[in-house]
Amino acid sequence: MTGICDNRVVIVTGAGRGLGREYALAFAAEGAKLVVNDIGTTLGGEGTDASPAQQVVEEIRAAGGEAIANGDDVADWDGAGRIVAAAIEAFGRLDVVVNNAGIVRDRMFVSATLEEWDATMRVHLRGHFCVTRHAVDHWRARQKAGETVDARIINTTSGAGLQGSIAQAAYSTAKGGIAALTLVQAAELGRYGITANALAPSARTRMTEQAFADKMATTEDGFDVQHPANIAATVVWLGSPDSAGVTGRVFELEGGRITIEDGWQLGATIDRGARWTPAEVGDAVRDLLSEQRPPRAVWGS
């Protein structure tokens, strides 16, 4: 297989189903060698099942590609190290990490539990940290040895993280944190030949079918806007050498639409050059808000 990622070595976490599966298959179709990581949990993060990852590996191999399965936990420090080590042992190096693994524990904030909060943060935030931190050690060592590194971090945020989502306080918080993490990684790691970007994909997955059933319904005719394979092309391009100049960006993707988020920008400002009194602040804030574009609505509101 040859393509825009010919001989690139790619880890995709949570690659047994949904978006991760489509990413892995699309990378392989463009010539990449894959580590298909998935522990095979339920949507809420319970249990394990090695078969989804292995099935994706078999699909890739049947099409003439190269792939191995891995069942380590992305949020376990040593397990994350084994994911990166598996890529190096099987293929000699690592070029791309796609942090896709995640869980969801939908709950209105007034009913949210500490266990659900911690579980969500662990998989999303700690999982993104652990795998990428081990990958960065590998890339820095190669760069220090005199090699030219052309590496990619591709993180997964969400519309929930960018604008909030009813009944998803923990998930939204974790995904917002991942968007901020991406900005810091891009700023810090460019000197080593590493780019970092994030995705906010909208597609039919186990998560979205449950939360947004009507929006995610299967289309009988024409272009299936919510098919997860629609997202894969941009992900593969971001993992390719052609994307070397693109870093610190958040891509919102749905169907055939590619949007680059504008991020937090300075808005309307009043500076009186002196200290405010509490009574004066209200009028100033109302004036500022009258000049601002209304924020995007929270999902589900």
Q: Is 293 a domain residue?
A: no
* Active-site residue, 111 included: no
Q: Is 274 a domain residue?
A: no
Which is catalytic among the residues 33, 175, 240, 243? 175
Percent of the chain with pLDDT over 70: 92
Q: Is 296 a domain residue?
A: no
Q: Is 299 a domain residue?
A: no
* Active-site residue, 192 included: no
Structural domain including 70 reads 9-260
Question: Judging by beta carbons within 10 Å of its beta carbon (0-12, 13-18, 19+), is residue 225 exposed, middle or buried?
Answer: middle
pLDDT of residue 164: 95
Q: Is 63 a domain residue?
A: yes
Which is catalytic among the residues 23, 33, 158, 202? 158
Binned at pLDDT 50, 70 and 90, residue 50 comes out as confident
Percent of the chain with pLDDT over 90: 84
Q: Is 282 a domain residue?
A: no
Q: Is 62 a domain residue?
A: yes
pTM for this structure? 0.92
Torsion sign, CA atoms 235, 34, 179, 136? negative
Residue with tokens 């070397």: 244
pLDDT in tens, 112-122: 999 999 999 99
- The stretches of the chain forming alpha helices (DSSP H) are 18-29, 51-62, 77-91, 114-121, 127-144, 159-163, 169-189, 206-211, 229-238, 278-291
Give the residue-averaged pLDDT of 18-47.
88
Residue-averaged pLDDT of the chain: 93
Q: Is 236 a domain residue?
A: yes
Which is catalytic among the residues 171, 172, 202, 243? 171
Total domains in the fold of the chain:
1
Binned at pLDDT 50, 70 and 90, residue 72 comes out as very high
| Cα 231 from Cα 293, distance rounded (Å) | 29
* Active-site residue, 158 included: yes
Q: Which of 49-53, 129-133, 192-196 has the lowest mean pLDDT?
A: 49-53
Is the distance from CB of 69 to CB of 57 less than 8 angstroms?
yes
The CATH number that applies at residue 150 is 3.40.50.720
Q: Which of 29-43, 61-75, 214-228, 245-259 has the lowest mean pLDDT?
A: 214-228
